[in-house]
Amino acid sequence: MAIAARRKNRLDEVVADIAAIGGTARSYALDVTDKSVIQSVVAAIIADFGRLDVLINNAGLMPIRPMAEVNTDEWDQMIDVNLKGTLYGIAAALPGFLEQGSGHIINLSSVAGIKVFAPGGTVYSGTKFAVSAISEGLRPRWGKRSGSRQSSLELSKAI
């Protein structure tokens, strides 16, 4: 099993927990806002394990702030993590999935991607609506051609 996230020390703890119950895992430091890093991590996973079978796009950022505060730096950060991070993950994994004829992409969204979480979560909701739309748009074009699967999960826990 391969796991990737920002905090390598926390990942290493999970790897140790998996090893303690007899499993095998490797951890990879990953910044979802850097597409070259995502591509490098996917390449490293394929080199280490021989293939990638499942990609779970789970990174998310949810600052709660009224739109009237016009915090565009925060908006940019949410778009980079929540939306671009999902797209970069898809871009890194999808070519390999198509080549091997199988794979599964799971994009984690939020109930805020179905119903706007206002007033403080408007931009967050916008990014999660986009993740849901991208997931829905990817499903019919990719799955029918390759036998692969794609999912979008909306999590009520986020609100």
Which amino acid is residue 100, in one-letter code? Q
Under DSSP, is residue 96 helix (H, G, I), strand (E, B) or coil? Answer: helix
Q: Which residue has the tokens 């692969």?
A: 148
Q: Report the distance separating Cα 33 and Cα 8, nearest Å.
A: 16
Residues marked as catalytic: 124
Q: Report the distance separating Cα 39 and Cα 45, nearest Å.
A: 10
Q: Report the distance separating Cα 43 and Cα 65, nearest Å.
A: 37
Nearest to 57 by CA among 125, 7, 8, 128: 128
In this structure, are residues 19 and 25 in contact, taking their beta carbons and an 8 Å threshold? yes
In this structure, are residues 57 and 90 in contact, taking their beta carbons and an 8 Å threshold? yes
